Chains A and B, each alone.
Chain A
Amino acid sequence: MKNEWPLWEIFIRGQHGLSHRHVGSLHAPDAEMAVKNARDVYTRRNEGVSIWVVEAKHITATAPGEKGPLFEPSESKVYRHPTFYDIPEEVGHM
């Protein structure tokens, strides 16, 4: 056995105007067939109004080892969140 179809990552946008979201992957010979297969595999129950397909080899991802240097710095920056600030009740909703 050889000649395996390439792997595609599938992104679907649901009904409510949110961004496309990764839902899974599948094999297909080309982009056109990947879209057709994605429709059958991932939208059998009205899950989507739009499909993106990306061949998996074109995705660049962060490495698990980089998790610390990349994401830990934001942990200490609590002042980026609205809850960091006390607003007197008299001021009202803000």
Chain B
Amino acid sequence: MYAQLVKTAGTGVKSQEEMTDQEREFQDKIDRDIKIEPKDWMPDDYRATLIRQIGQHAHSEIVGQLPEGNWITRAPTLERKAILLAKVQDEAGHGLYLYCAAETLGVTRDEITEMLLDGRMKYSSIFNYPTLNWADIGAVGWLVDGAAIMNQVPLQRTSYGPYSRAMIRICKEESFHQRQGYDAIRKMAEGSPEQKKMAQDALNRLWFPSLMMFGPSDKDSVHSAQSMAWKIKINTNDELRQKFVDQTVPQIEFLGLDLPDPGIKWNEERGHYDYTDPDWSEFFNVIKGNGPCNVDRLAARNKAWDDGEWVRDGLLEHARKKAARKHAAE
């Protein structure tokens, strides 16, 4: 998914005795898979955590347009260009669905945008890595969108109605993203030796950053336990990461590429692939702002926002004048 290290508000899961009547009724609804809707009562911590999580998810969709948008004008064929354009447009749409879901919790669009622009809210660490060549675009669709799908599919069942509906819509569209990426990288893996080398290099560079997308192990975290009790998190980070590795290894083998990690081995006993854990010090460093592209990404978003101000204001002013004229004529 696109939300990592989302801080769960509160002190962890409360026992039935510790809960107020309202809290008990709320938890009971979640346990019975009844959706929580915007006007329903909800604990402040649930609301705050969801704003952080959905906000981070939305920001990731928006910032995620930058590494791919970088290659639209340099796509190798007109068809690839049209496909990439459609994909990047989808990401903008996904950001909008999620911002609207977050707004139903009482935050405004401007507030949440401001928090991205001044660095108070994060987006996924993966988008702080550069896309150096066309093979990276294939690898991003295949691996990054593939990892996102792993997390988004279970979230379709999340307890918060607007979030769940946004996820359902996003998942419908996301499968195209992964498939177009795999298709692009397959073309290169089956191409000239130079192309195959580029595909291998892209896989090698993006493998561990993709594994980091799931976030560090949280199997012992009380905060994750609370998010899972609220059903705004459905699986642990390790479960999803394992699922991603298990799904992706055969896809790598089909391409005839070398595995990006010598530690990948089928473990008969577990029924899963073993793999090497990513370097978490790198992850924390990127989250802190020291990844290869953090500064560029935020600068690009700030520039887009500032440069667009006259358009936003102009359109609003035009709408006001038109309404006033209509009012005067009546």
A residues engaging B (CB < 8 A)? 1-5, 7, 23-27, 29-30, 33, 40-41, 44-45, 61, 63-64
Residue of A nearest to B110 (CB): A1
- CB contact list, B27-74 vs A, under 8 A: 37, 39-41
Chain B residues with CB under 8 Å of A25's CB are 100, 103
What is the bound-complex CA distance between A3 and B41, given in angstroms? 30
Most buried by A among B86, B89, B110, B114: B110
Cross-interface CB contact of A24 among B40, B97, B173, B312, cutoff 8 Å = B97
- Residues 97-132 of chain B: 1 if any A CB is under 8 Å from the residue's CB, otherwise 0? 100100100001110011000000000000000000
Q: Which of under 10, 10 to 19, 20 to 34, or 35 or more describes the interface residues of B?
A: 20 to 34
Chain A residues with CB under 8 Å of B103's CB are 7, 25
A-B contact pairs, 18 of them (CB 8 A): A1-B113, A2-B110, A3-B316, A4-B110, A5-B316, A25-B103, A26-B100, A29-B312, A29-B316, A29-B318, A30-B318, A30-B319, A33-B315, A40-B93, A44-B93, A44-B173, A61-B39, A64-B37
Asked whether, in the complex, the Cβ of B90 is within 8 Å of the Cβ of A44, the reply is yes
Asked whether, in the complex, the Cβ of A24 is within 8 Å of the Cβ of B169, the reply is yes
What is the bound-complex CA distance between A28 and B39, given in angstroms? 23
What is the bound-complex CA distance between A58 and B108, given in angstroms? 18
Chain B residues with CB under 8 Å of A29's CB are 312, 315-316, 318-319
Q: How far is the CB of A75 from the nearest CB of chain B, in Å?
A: 15
B residues engaging A (CB < 8 A)? 37, 39-41, 86, 89-90, 93, 96-97, 100, 103, 108-110, 113-114, 165-166, 169, 173, 312-313, 315-316, 318-319, 322-323
Q: How far is the CB of A45 from the nearest CB of chain B, in Å?
A: 7
Given A1-B110, A7-B103, A30 and B322 touching (CB < 8 A)? yes
What is the bound-complex CA distance between A5 and B312, given in angstroms? 8
Given A29-B316, A30-B322, A30-B323, A1 and B114 touching (CB < 8 A)? yes
Chain A residues with CB under 8 Å of B316's CB are 3, 5, 29
Chain A residues with CB under 8 Å of B322's CB are 30
What is the bound-complex CA distance between A68 and B316, given in angstroms? 41
Residue of B nearest to A2 (CB): B110
Asked whether, in the complex, the Cβ of A3 is within 8 Å of the Cβ of B323, the reply is no
Cross-interface CB contact of B313 among A3, A23, A40, A41, cutoff 8 Å = A3
What is the bound-complex CA distance between A3 and B322, given in angstroms? 16
What is the bound-complex CA distance between A24 and B165, given in angstroms? 9
Q: How far is the CB of A89 from the nearest CB of chain B, in Å?
A: 38
Residue of B nearest to A45 (CB): B173
Q: How far is the CB of B163 from the nearest CB of chain A, in Å?
A: 12
Given A1-B114, A4-B109, A26-B100, A64 and B312 touching (CB < 8 A)? no
Chain B residues with CB under 8 Å of A23's CB are 169
Q: How far is the CB of A82 from the nearest CB of chain B, in Å?
A: 27
What is the bound-complex CA distance between A79 and B11, given in angstroms? 49
Chain B residues with CB under 8 Å of A33's CB are 315, 319
Chain B residues with CB under 8 Å of A4's CB are 108-110
Residue of B nearest to A27 (CB): B109
Q: How far is the CB of A32 from the nearest CB of chain B, in Å?
A: 8
Asked whether, in the complex, the Cβ of A44 is within 8 Å of the Cβ of B319, the reply is no
Asked whether, in the complex, the Cβ of B39 is within 8 Å of the Cβ of A63, the reply is yes
Residue of A nearest to B108 (CB): A4
Q: How far is the CB of B28 from the nearest CB of chain A, in Å?
A: 15
Question: A-B pairs with the 4 shortest C-beta distances?
Answer: A30-B319, A29-B315, A29-B319, A1-B110
Q: How far is the CB of B110 from the nearest CB of chain A, in Å?
A: 4
